[in-house]
Chains A and B, each alone.
Chain A
Amino acid sequence: MYPVKYHRATSVDEAKAAFTSASEARFLAGGQTLLPTMKQHLAAPSDLIDLRGIPDLAGISADGDGVRVGAMTTHAEVAQSAEVKEAIPVLAHMASTIGDSAVRHLGTMGGSLANNDVAADYPAAVLGLNATVVTDRREIAAEDYFQGLFATALEEGEMIVAVRYPRPERAGYAKQTNPASRYPMVGVLVAKTGGGVRVAVTGTGQDGVFRHQGLEQALSSDWSQGAVDGVEIGEEGLMNDIHASADYRAHLIRVMAKRAVAAS
Chain B
Amino acid sequence: MTDLTLTVNGKRVTRDVPGETLLSELLRETLRLTGTHVGCDTSQCGACAVHMDGKVVKACTMLAHQAAGTEITTIEGLANGELHPMQKAFNDNHGLQCGFCTPGMIMAGVDMVQRYKAEGKTLDEAAIRHELEGNLCRCTGYHNIVKSIQQAATEM
Determine how close the nearest CB of chain B comes to the CB of A232; give it in whole angstroms: 35
Given known pairs A32-B43, A105-B55, the reply for A5 and B119 (CB within 8 Å) is no
Determine how close the nearest CB of chain B comes to the CB of A75; give it in whole angstroms: 12
Chain B: residues with Cβ within 8 Å of the partner, total of 30
Q: Does A103 contact B (CB under 8 A)?
A: yes
Contact with A along B123-156 (1 / 0, CB 8 A): 0000000010111000000000000000000000
In the bound complex, residues from chain A placing their C-beta under 8 Å from that of B14 are none
Q: Is the CB of B134 within 8 A of A101?
A: yes
Looking at B56, B58, B61, B115, the one whose CB has the most chain A CB atoms below 10 A away is: B61
Show the binding face of B for A, using Cβ within 8 Å: 2, 18-20, 22, 41-43, 46, 49, 52, 55-58, 61-63, 65-66, 68, 108, 111-112, 115, 119, 131, 133-135
Show the binding face of A for B, using Cβ within 8 Å: 1-6, 8, 28, 31-32, 35-36, 38-39, 48, 50, 52, 76, 80, 99-103, 105-106, 182
Q: List 29 A-B contacts (CB under 8 A).
A: A1-B22, A2-B20, A3-B20, A5-B19, A6-B2, A6-B19, A6-B20, A28-B63, A31-B63, A32-B61, A35-B43, A36-B42, A36-B61, A38-B20, A48-B19, A50-B65, A50-B66, A52-B66, A80-B119, A99-B134, A100-B46, A100-B133, A101-B115, A102-B108, A103-B43, A103-B134, A106-B57, A106-B61, A106-B62
In the bound complex, residues from chain A placing their C-beta under 8 Å from that of B58 are 102-103
10 A-B pairs closest in CB distance: A100-B134, A6-B19, A1-B20, A6-B65, A105-B55, A4-B19, A100-B133, A102-B58, A4-B20, A102-B56
